Amino acid sequence: MAKIIFISSTGDSTEIDAPTGDSVMQAAVSTMVDGIVAECGGCLSCATCHVYVDEAWIDKVGAAPGDEQGMLQFALDPNERSRLSCQIQVTDELDGLVLHVPAAQY
């Protein structure tokens, strides 16, 4: 289990307990975190699970690999800290992870 904190574009914070082994997207959807749409259910074909990894966590989470980079082109306003949350696996090492939710998802 890892605590994950989602910060909305308006600064609201939502903290969830995410089961180890799930994707961050699965944990967010099952706890109804606002702004994580996840239309494709996690098969890397929609980009509606886009998040920005907090600067303090980017080294631990890592950058998006090539196939994910390709799909991020379809996200709204991606940047160098963008990830698709369905591609981030929850691990104990990510306890306390802070993610920023975009103002909108395509």
By CB under 6 A, name the binding residues for ligand FES. Answer: 25, 38-40, 42, 44-49, 71, 84, 86
- How near is the Cβ of 23 to ligand FES at its closest, in Å? 8
3-state SS, 26-90, equals HHHHHCCCCCCCCCCCCCCCCCCCEEEECHHHHHHHCCCCHHHHHHHCCCCCCCCCEEEHHHCEC
Which residues touch 93 (CB under 8 Å, ≥6 apart)? Answer: 2, 60
Task: Closer to ligand FES by CB, 71 or 94: give it.
Answer: 71
Task: Closer to ligand FES by CB, 56 or 63: give it.
Answer: 63
Task: Closer to ligand FES by CB, 2 or 29: give it.
Answer: 29
- How near is the Cβ of 32 to ligand FES at its closest, in Å? 15
